[in-house]
Amino acid sequence: MDNLHSEIDAIRQRLGKKLLILGHHYQRDEIVAHTDMQGDSFQLSAAAAQNTDCETIIFCGVHFMAETADILANSPENLARRNGQRVDVILPDLDAGCSMAEMATRHEVEDCWNSLITLFDPKEIVPVTYVNSTAELKAFCGQHGGIACTSTNAHAVLHKALQQNSQKQRVLFFPDQHLGRNTAIKMGLPESQMALWNSNEPDFGGNSSEQIQNSRIILWNGYCCVHQKFVSGHIDEIRNMFPNIRVIVHPECRREVVEQADESGSTAFILKQITQSPAGSQWAVGTESRFVERLARQNPDKTIVNLSFQPSYCETMGRIELPKLADMLRSVESGLKQNIIRVNDPIAQDALHCLLRMLQAHS
């Protein structure tokens, strides 16, 4: 292992600014040690969009993140700035997907849309995709006046989408039902105005036409298997053990978990709240366990524990191991790059509209 670390360091040094290695917060420690930047999916997308020096990005995350980086790094504006020179985005393991992103396909969402427009004027429905989705779904949103959101700006995006054009406006939100529901509840929308769309069910995704007509938000039946594991019993257990502990969770958790927690927010929010808390603070954290374990090591003056005693790891993120990172670096240096993620042009163009609206909603 030591040899691999030194080989990676040496190649990075030789490639210099031509190479950018991005690592998601849920990534393994030994990978994070070799990244130029760590962040959540929004922060890493923004870094890919803004970098002007690099020729290659190795994205230590999952497939949809590499797609987003490819679209943003190779936007027409960025290409013009680099005289047409593309940035290659590499995913060290092509099987590093996201089970949530795979829960909504373009075909299924189009079927849903076609059913909805039998009830409403298409101008009255705004498709909103969580950034944790395939480029094809972002392109769908781009084509239908929709927008992507992150867990940081979901509130602002949903608020704007529901006000757009008319009071009759409604949102089709995919793929994560929990982020959609938790955000809508925070905005004061009653659950009676939300419908859950299950593409395997008959009629309107398992709903009657009246249920859909009474809904302001139609939620896709997707979820993150890492965050959905947390249940309210975990909060009861941890509070029994540590009566003064603060519980902080990600909004991809179930509604009851978010409601019982003291705080909820994106990974970047959780990082900020815990890092800025005074020495001696106690935190139980409901999100991916590699990130929580690293936070605990980086803040030895605080008590930081997983919300559940059973760790909850993102298995697909964990597929990126040191030998794979080393292989990618060797391939970049040799000029025979492997595992390039390239979104085809028409999809990239439509998806870019949707992503740029997302970036604007952050500023």
Kindly list the residues in this chain that would bind ligand SF4 in the complex (CB under 6 A): 26, 62, 98-100, 132, 224-226, 288, 314, 316-317
User: Rounded to the nearest whole angstrom, what is the least distance from the CB of residue 362 to ligand SF4 in the complex?
Assistant: 19
Say whether 280 sits in a helix, a strand or coil.
coil
Which residue, 221 or 316, has its beta carbon nearer to ligand SF4? Answer: 316
Is 186 buried (19+), middle (13-18) or exposed (0-12) by CB count in 10 A? middle
Which residue, 90 or 101, has its beta carbon nearer to ligand SF4? Answer: 101
User: Rounded to the nearest whole angstrom, what is the least distance from the CB of residue 153 to ligand SF4 in the complex?
Assistant: 17
Q: How far apart are the C-alpha atoms of 116 and 218, rounded to whole Å? A: 10
User: Rounded to the nearest whole angstrom, what is the least distance from the CB of residue 61 to ligand SF4 in the complex?
Assistant: 7
Q: How far apart are the C-alpha atoms of 276 and 272, rounded to whole Å? A: 6
Maximum alpha-carbon separation in the chain: 64
DSSP classification of residue 239: H
Helix or strand run (H / E) with residue 108: helix 106-116
User: Rounded to the nearest whole angstrom, what is the least distance from the CB of residue 260 to ligand SF4 in the complex?
Assistant: 21
Is 107 buried (19+), middle (13-18) or exposed (0-12) by CB count in 10 A? exposed
Q: How far apart are the C-alpha atoms of 157 and 155, rounded to whole Å? A: 6
Q: How far apart are the C-alpha atoms of 246 and 23, rounded to whole Å? A: 28
Q: Helices (DSSP H) in 122-244: which residue ranges?
A: 135-143, 154-163, 177-186, 209-213, 232-241
Q: How far apart are the C-alpha atoms of 188 and 12, rounded to whole Å? A: 49
User: Rounded to the nearest whole angstrom, what is the least distance from the CB of residue 229 to ligand SF4 in the complex?
Assistant: 10
Which residue, 12 or 294, has its beta carbon nearer to ligand SF4? Answer: 294
Which residue, 20 or 226, has its beta carbon nearer to ligand SF4? Answer: 226
Which residue, 102 or 327, has its beta carbon nearer to ligand SF4? Answer: 102
Which residue, 78 or 266, has its beta carbon nearer to ligand SF4? Answer: 266
User: Rounded to the nearest whole angstrom, what is the least distance from the CB of residue 65 to ligand SF4 in the complex?
Assistant: 8
User: Rounded to the nearest whole angstrom, what is the least distance from the CB of residue 316 to ligand SF4 in the complex?
Assistant: 6
Q: How far apart are the C-alpha atoms of 92 and 322, rounded to whole Å? A: 10
Q: How far apart are the C-alpha atoms of 324 and 342, rounded to whole Å? A: 19
**Which residues 6+ apart lie within 8 Å of 50 measured at CB?**
none
User: Rounded to the nearest whole angstrom, what is the least distance from the CB of residue 286 to ligand SF4 in the complex?
Assistant: 12
Which residue, 64 or 204, has its beta carbon nearer to ligand SF4? Answer: 64
CB 260 within 8 A of CB 214: no
User: Rounded to the nearest whole angstrom, what is the least distance from the CB of residue 71 to ligand SF4 in the complex?
Assistant: 18
User: Rounded to the nearest whole angstrom, what is the least distance from the CB of residue 18 to ligand SF4 in the complex?
Assistant: 28
Which residue, 151 or 207, has its beta carbon nearer to ligand SF4? Answer: 151
Tokens of 208: 């009657």
Exposure on the CB side of residue 298, measured as CA atoms within 13 A:
13
Partner residues linked to 19 by β-bridges: 56
The distance of Cα 204 from the centroid of its chain, to the nearest Å, equals 27
Say whether 174 sits in a helix, a strand or coil.
strand
Which residue, 66 or 116, has its beta carbon nearer to ligand SF4? Answer: 66
Which residue, 116 or 175, has its beta carbon nearer to ligand SF4? Answer: 175
